[in-house]
Structure 1
């Protein structure tokens, strides 16, 4: 059991424990002594840290170690918490990566059961078997449930790939219902498999990072390989289905500019492209807005968001906001304490 999590840190608190370390910089102070800046992280968040007058051993430990055992105290620097370190040493064993990497807010087991309920409704038996192999009690399925969906951008935490996939599947259900002439089985299968290559694109035993294969090939070619390996193990799988699912995987980024060697060429492929892009952008926007609120930033705009190349407006009113500025209490509102507040600035 950890003594303290990053999310529990408060000013003037004493800190002692093991943390994942990143963004290490060794610099020289005005008096000529060396100091080390770094980021300390666990699954609840990250905090800046500094070690003044760092010894050669401490500099080397910070540069080369994934985990450090530290002692220090929490203070405030430029309005943010910072840990001033008294001691640091490398840690090479006895750590559980799940303590240090961010995890999905919803339990993986719960999301897996919900995804399974959609898969069980797939009518084509061989396609259903393929999806069960990709997400169930197999090596691919285990990695699918654990994997992040990204290193930094959207759903960048353990279970993030499952969370993103489930969201895309649920939107695919809505698309199938709205456009009744589309093939539901193909939509659901494409939604489940579109990012399956991310199980090989990333590694997450110590930190979330790209694998060698991820850097060399990316997740789209990897997804084609995985899907076809699974298909090869299913006797009698129809070649037209193999072709259609492969096309959805290779086209789901929409264009060559964004990494797809083919543009979507039938309606179900177009739908998967747009809804998976929608889910990633909505997740990113909501995260940036939440970060802005958590920092207590005043005003009606976030800072510039690098991944979207824009700032985000925070002044959209809640759904039940009427013309007089009053909110109507609707059935179930009393059970919804998480309703977000959009008006963060002063009244004009």
Structure 2
């Protein structure tokens, strides 16, 4: 009887210390030959989908060893068998078999689970709504120009390579949540320039459209030559300048000369938000936050990233005890289970 495939993340979450049947659809990130302590060779195949990854170990006497030795990076496969999570090796599988995915299965895998599609669709719509609410026409039109030109890349980009929102579409989730936080804070701290802050949030990680962008038909994030040389912060600054100069070529820009504050001052403040969003020079920002909006963006960015890391580790992290989960970097310590919300029900 066929097993309905689940994501790797869901498989890790569902699987316990006892073997249970399961199936996963994934892409091969890497095929490597390893050696045991007694120098016997085996294959280690790193499998990846849009949620997580895990290594499949193929011993020399496995019936699928011949098939697996022909697999290449980028192939799409199904692995079906009995899965278990161990403290030493994490997710493992025994009594397994493997096959190539059909074209239809591959397309479905790349599209992502329905719940992820729905969430990212809602988040992208939220981004569009927040941009539409920007009152300053210069910042609003700059943001709309960015979405028109880079929507496809934005929907594929991750928030990071490893630490947070490290999945296809993760950057959309990160930006949307930061904008929600901005909207709430701007209602409380009314001196904040909401228009500038929303635009800064949209552009703060725009360099990751190259640094952390997945190809259209792959879960394997390449290392972009330009991003390696320049970094996403500098690329974001350059992108803002390029799009701003595109706006200046339009007929509408001259009518904004009467607006206050001055257009070039608006541009410079936006550049400062992008350049300073890492907060400190030692963490990659060429300048520290020097305005209320820059400080707020940095703190919102850090908060959303840290809470995402904690949420993921609560679900998938190694438990040291019933209420304690082992630390993952860059979090500063082990996690302790959060206090549940108050409920009047017994």
- TM bucket by the smaller chain? 0.7 to 0.9
2:344 equivalent to 1:328: yes
2:79 equivalent to 1:66: no
Find the aligned partners of 1:109 and 1:101 in 2 and give their Cα distance: 12
2:302 equivalent to 1:260: no
Task: Give the structure 2 partner of residue 193 of structure 1.
Answer: 203
Task: Give the structure 1 partner of residue 228 of structure 2.
Answer: 215
The one of the two structures with greater contact order (alpha-carbon pairs below 8 A, sep at least 6) is: 2
Maintained 8 Å contact 2:28/2:73: yes
Find the aligned partners of 1:300 and 1:66 in 2 and give their Cα distance: 39
The CA deviation at 1:174 is: 2.1
Task: Give the structure 1 partner of residue 57 of structure 2.
Answer: 50
SS at 1:203 equivalent:
coil
* TM-score (ref. length: structure 2): 0.78
SS at 1:308 equivalent:
coil
Find the aligned partners of 1:59 and 1:76 in 2 and give their Cα distance: 21
2:153 equivalent to 1:143: yes
Q: How many residue pairs are counted as aligned between the two chains?
A: 316
Find the aligned partners of 2:143 and 2:330 in 1 and give their Cα distance: 31
Task: Give the structure 1 partner of residue 46 of structure 2.
Answer: 39
2:304 equivalent to 1:279: yes
* Pairwise CA RMSD: 3.4
Task: Give the structure 1 partner of residue 140 of structure 2.
Answer: 128
Task: Give the structure 2 partner of residue 245 of structure 1.
Answer: 270
SS at 2:44 equivalent:
strand
Indicate how the Cα distance of structure 1 residues 91 and 120 shifts in structure 2: closer, same or farther if over 3 A, else same.
closer
Indicate how the Cα distance of structure 1 residues 286 and 72 shifts in structure 2: closer, same or farther if over 3 A, else same.
closer
Task: Give the structure 2 partner of residue 308 of structure 1.
Answer: 331
Maintained 8 Å contact 1:51/1:86: no
Indicate how the Cα distance of structure 1 residues 73 and 112 shifts in structure 2: closer, same or farther if over 3 A, else same.
closer
The CA deviation at 1:127 is: 1.1
- The structure where helix makes up a greater share of residues is 2
Find the aligned partners of 2:38 and 2:110 in 1 and give their Cα distance: 35
Maintained 8 Å contact 1:201/1:222: no
2:192 equivalent to 1:182: yes
Maintained 8 Å contact 1:21/1:67: yes
Maintained 8 Å contact 2:4/2:22: no
Q: Deviations over 1:101-145 (max 9, x none)?
A: 97747433221222222111111112101111222xx23122123
Indicate how the Cα distance of structure 1 residues 100 and 140 shifts in structure 2: closer, same or farther if over 3 A, else same.
closer
Maintained 8 Å contact 1:196/1:223: yes
Indicate how the Cα distance of structure 1 residues 270 and 97 shifts in structure 2: closer, same or farther if over 3 A, else same.
farther
Maintained 8 Å contact 2:156/2:213: no
Indicate how the Cα distance of structure 1 residues 310 and 102 shifts in structure 2: closer, same or farther if over 3 A, else same.
farther
Uncovered stretches (5+) of structure 1, i.e. residues with no partner = 321-326, 330-348
Find the aligned partners of 2:221 and 2:278 in 1 and give their Cα distance: 22
Maintained 8 Å contact 1:43/1:98: no
